[in-house]
Structure 1
Amino acid sequence: MAVPPPSAPPCPPGEEFELHFIGELEFGCEFPGLSSDDGLFIDYAAEAGSDWLPIARKEGFIGQTQTTYADAEGVYVFNHPLDFHFIADSLAGWPKLHVQVFKLDAAGRVETVAYGSSMLPSMPGHAELTCRTWRPLKTSVMEEARAVSGVLGSDPGSLPAPRADILSDTVPEVRSKMVTKTSGSLCISLDTILRNANKHGVLLQHRRR
C-alpha cells in the first residue's frame, strides 16, 4: 500500500495552500574590491520551513547563475530566471532566498565575495526586492590580510557553520561571534501568486498605489 510522504500537507487534493514565485535575479552592484577582469556568479537557494513542500523539485529550489562581468557603470547584469513553487501546511518558516556571491578571477580562481538573505514576498502581485549582502572578516587584521592574499590556502569567505544555518539564524551562538562587513546588493524582480489562501486563514490586503 502506498504511503504518502510525511511532509505532504494533510489537505484534500486541490485545496492545499500554494505559493508561486516567478521572476528573475536581475543584477548586482557596488561589490567592493573587484577588478574589471573579475566576473561574478551567484549560488542561490529558496529555503523554507519543514511544513513547506517544493513542487517538482525533490532536492528543493537551488541553482546558480552564469558568470557575468561589470558594464561601464560597474553593474553585473544576470537576468537569471527564478521559479519557486511550494505547497504548505503551515505559514511558519515562510520562504527566504539565500545567496552566495562568487568571484571568478582572470586566473580561473573562485572565491566567495559575499552572502545574503531576503524574505520572499508575502503579498500577491509584483515586487522589486533588494538583497543586501555581507562578507565575513577574520578575527584579527593579520588573519584578514592573510585570507585576502590567499596565504591561508582557503576561501576567505568560508563560514564557521553551514550556510543555510547562518542565513536562517538557526545558530545565533555562532552568528553573534562573527565579524562581518557590508558588501554589494542584488536586485530581484518577482511576481507572487497565492492559491487557496482564504481556505487557510490567510487574510490579504490590497496594496496601495
Structure 2
Amino acid sequence: MAVPPPSAPPCPPGEEFELHFIGELEFGWEFPGLSSDDGLFIDYAAEAGSDWLPIARKEGFVGQTQTAYADPDGVYVFNHPLDFHFIADSLAGWPKLHVQVFKLDAAGRVETVAYGSSVLPNMPGHTELTCRTWRPLKRSIIDEVRAVSGVLGSDPGALPAPRADILNNDVKAPEVRSKMVTKTSGSLCISLDTVLRNANKHGILLQLRPR
C-alpha cells in the first residue's frame, strides 16, 4: 500500500499528487426477495477526505446506473462507466465508494434494497473489487417473510435517513448503522484501473503486491 510522505511545503502547480480511477460497475448478484419483474439500479458516490479535491466536478462524483433485470443466472448486468479523478494534499481520507441499491417493481415503485461501501484501490494497476452490501433487518419475522417472498409494500427496514445522508459524506451515517441490526445482502462487482501521478515527487513509496 501507499506510505504517506513526511510533511512538506505546498508543491508547485502541476506537481500535485493525483489519483485517477477509471472502470465500470459491472454487475450484481444474490440480492434476496426480488421477482423476475423487478429491476435494480444503483446510486453511487466516491467520497474522500477534506484534503482531496475532485477534478472536473464541483459537486463530487455522484451518479446512477441504468435499471438492469436479472439474466437466467440471477445476475444484474450494469456495465456502467466510472471515472473518479482527485488531487490531494494528504493521503488521509483515502477515497471510498458508497452505493445504495434500489428496486424498481412492475408497478413503477422504487424501494431501497441495500447499502454498501468499499475502499478504492491504493495500488496502481487493475483491480476487481467485490462490494458486499447490507440491509436493516425487518421489525418482525412476518416482515422478513414478506420481504423474502417478494410481497409488495413499503420497506419497514429502510434506513431512518434520507439517501443523501448515506451518499454525500455525512459523518452520521456510520452512527446510524451502528444502532441498527443488519444482515448481508447481495454483492456488486466493480472493475477499476488505478493511476497515480507525481507519487514519487511526494515521497510516496509503493510496495509491490506479493505474487
Shorter chain as normaliser: what TM range?
0.7 to 0.9
Alignment of 1:7-22 (within 5 A): 10-22=10-22
Q: Shift of the alpha carbon at 1:146?
A: 8.4
Separation in 1 of the partners of 2:7 and 2:116? 27
Deviation string, structure 1 residues 59-114 (Cα, Å, up to 9, x no partner): 00000000010001100000000000000011111000000000000000000000
Q: Shift of the alpha carbon at 1:199?
A: 2.0
Determine helix, strand or coil for the equivalent of 1:97.
Answer: strand
Asked whether the 8 Å contact 1:24–1:79 carries over to 2, the reply is yes
Determine helix, strand or coil for the equivalent of 2:73.
Answer: coil
Separation in 1 of the partners of 2:126 and 2:2? 40
Separation in 2 of the partners of 1:173 and 1:3? 29
Asked whether the 8 Å contact 1:27–1:188 carries over to 2, the reply is yes
Asked whether the 8 Å contact 1:130–1:186 carries over to 2, the reply is yes
Separation in 2 of the partners of 1:128 and 1:5? 27
Separation in 2 of the partners of 1:6 and 1:112? 43
Distance 1:153-1:2 versus aligned 2 partners, 3 A rule? closer
Does 63-72 or 156-165 show the bigger shift? 156-165
Q: Shift of the alpha carbon at 1:198?
A: 1.7
Give the count of matched residue pairs: 206
Separation in 1 of the partners of 2:150 and 2:115? 19
Distance 1:87-1:2 versus aligned 2 partners, 3 A rule? closer
Asked whether the 8 Å contact 2:27–2:77 carries over to 1, the reply is yes
- Normalised by the length of structure 2, the TM-score is 0.84
Residue 156 (1) aligns with residue 151 (2): no
Unpaired runs of 5+ in structure 2? 168-172
Q: Shift of the alpha carbon at 1:180?
A: 0.7
Asked whether the 8 Å contact 1:147–1:156 carries over to 2, the reply is no
Root-mean-square deviation (CA, aligned residues, Å) is: 5.9
Q: Shift of the alpha carbon at 1:207?
A: 2.8
Deviation string, structure 1 residues 137-181 (Cα, Å, up to 9, x no partner): 2444467678899999755453234657668xxx55432210111
Q: Identify the structure with bigger relative contact order (alpha carbons < 8 Å, sequence gap 6+).
A: 2
Percent of matched pairs sharing the same residue:
91
Determine helix, strand or coil for the equivalent of 1:99.
Answer: strand
Does 4-13 or 104-113 show the bigger shift? 4-13
Question: Residue 79 of structure 1 aligns with which residue?
Answer: 79
Distance 1:135-1:125 versus aligned 2 partners, 3 A rule? same
Asked whether the 8 Å contact 2:2–2:204 carries over to 1, the reply is no
Does 97-106 or 131-140 show the bigger shift? 131-140
Distance 1:31-1:9 versus aligned 2 partners, 3 A rule? farther
Distance 1:4-1:34 versus aligned 2 partners, 3 A rule? closer
Question: Residue 127 of structure 2 aligns with which residue?
Answer: 127
Distance 1:7-1:42 versus aligned 2 partners, 3 A rule? farther
Asked whether the 8 Å contact 2:135–2:157 carries over to 1, the reply is yes
Separation in 2 of the partners of 1:45 and 1:6? 30
- Normalised by the length of structure 1, the TM-score is 0.84
